[in-house]
Amino acid sequence: MLKSSSTLPRLAWRNLWRHRRRTLLLMLVVAYATLTIVLFWGINDGFIQSILYGNARYLGAPVLITTPAYFQDPDPEQGLPSLGFLSQVEAQPGVRAAAPRLEFPGLVRSAYTAEAVRVRGVEPALEARVSHIPSAIAQGRMLEKPGEVVLGQQLAERLDVRLGERVVLDTSALAGPQALGLQVVGLVRSGVAPVDRGAVLVHLGDARRLTGLATATAVALDVPRGQESRLAQALNLELPPGLRAYDLSQLLGGLAEALQTRQGSVFLIGLLFSLFAALAVTSTVLVSVLERTREFGIMEAIGMSPQRLAQMVTLETVLATALGWGAGLVLGYALNYWMAVQNVLGPVFASYGAAWEILGTGSEIYTAQSPWYALFAAITIVLAALFSILIPARRVLALNPAEAMRTE
């Protein structure tokens, strides 16, 4: 019976529940390690996505539609030839809002000094749907009509202007040099340096008047977090010739590359989690082997070979580890899902104040979900099985049945 190939798995399974406390402890160790690994990767990837998503909403947009020529050389002359595609874009599943923008270089002048800036012409009612800047206005309000301007707080300080005062905006337009007087109605304090130092928001009508462009330079889209790349690819199949949708990784190329570069070191940390968990499993199995020395001696005495006994110990380890892995995955993915839909981490990290704001995530940080996390956690099972073969199983192979049966 002990030599039957089908008997060994059944025997290993029964042994797990004959030593219930030890098995549950082993499962708990693996479940905790798996839970930790899933959360570790979910928080890490979610943190990176939150940084990119937050910065995109301050500096650009999650997805931006423009011409390739404007993307390479942001000159209003290379802006959108028409906005007739807007209804088609808004009907695309996943697109929650579309806001035309007209960006152009300019010179903003106060009574005391002048600053070269990049101006963003917006539709006030739509801009809050695709940008965090309207929600970061610390003084005053968002612009509502032509003739108003919102400035970054540090830019306003350099210009020495306050709410209610006027500035003049100069630019070189298609029809020649243009100038327009505007009233300051809001000051932005976001914690993102490029925004606070240089943000200039004007009404889209004023931007068209200054530049002579009747359309816009781009259309910013509000899309679900994590769906930017997929939706940009889908839109590129539907957009008219000469237009292209760019996702946040393309819009924030340098930042995206820097964040992805650090993933190598993060993977090593995740591997260490698996290594420590596997060592904990191995130590638990080794203690089990020491406690069951007499039992193993009897099993060898009645005919089970040392090799099959070692295989049984390894199989017991793999079964208990797999059960713990499954339980840890259920808990880990459940917690990840909860933190992916509820802003649990945002208030925690926001408590670090200005040092945290500079990352541009705003007050929202969510976890990510990926089937890869289950594979990363499965490394624990592989390592645990390998260590069991190298340590506890080898000890079983070295047992002397006569001496083992005398062990108390």
pLDDT tens figures, 20-48:
777 788 788 888 888 888 888 888 888 87
Extract the tokens encoding 55: 């910065």
**pLDDT tier for residue 353 given thresholds of 50, 70 and 90:** low
Which comes out higher in pLDDT, residue 219 or 194? 219
Is residue 223 scored above 80 in pLDDT?
A: yes
Looking at residue 392, its amino acid is: P
Is residue 2 scored above 50 in pLDDT?
A: no
Extract the tokens encoding 18: 């004959």
Which comes out higher in pLDDT, residue 335 or 1? 335
Please state, in angstroms and as integers, the Cα–Cα distance from residue 157 to each residue in 171, 198, 395, following that order: 22, 11, 74
Extract the tokens encoding 78: 């290379």
CB 179 within 8 A of CB 226: no
**pLDDT tier for residue 191 given thresholds of 50, 70 and 90:** confident
Position 113 scores a pLDDT of 94
Is residue 406 scored above 60 in pLDDT?
A: no
Is residue 89 scored above 50 in pLDDT?
A: yes
Q: 3-state class of 399 per DSSP?
A: coil
d(CA 101, CA 239): 18
- For helices 306-341 and 372-390, what crossing angle results, to 10°? 160
Position 1 scores a pLDDT of 41
d(CA 33, CA 51): 27
Beta-carbon count within 10 A of 382 CB:
13
Of 72-76, 184-188, 334-338, 386-390, the poorest mean pLDDT is in: 386-390
Mean pLDDT, the chain, rounded, equals: 83
Beta-carbon count within 10 A of 267 CB:
13
152: phi then psi, degrees, rounded to nearest 5: -65, 140
**pLDDT tier for residue 149 given thresholds of 50, 70 and 90:** very high
Q: Where are the alpha helices (DSSP H) in 103-244?
A: 124-130, 153-159, 193-198, 204-211, 228-236
Looking at residue 33, its amino acid is: A
Position 351 scores a pLDDT of 61
* pTM of this structure: 0.70
d(CA 2, CA 303): 7
Mean pLDDT in residue range 104-133? 93
Mean pLDDT in residue range 280-300? 69
CB 367 within 8 A of CB 332: no
Please state, in angstroms and as integers, the Cα–Cα distance from residue 21 to each residue in 131, 288, 341, following that order: 55, 11, 36
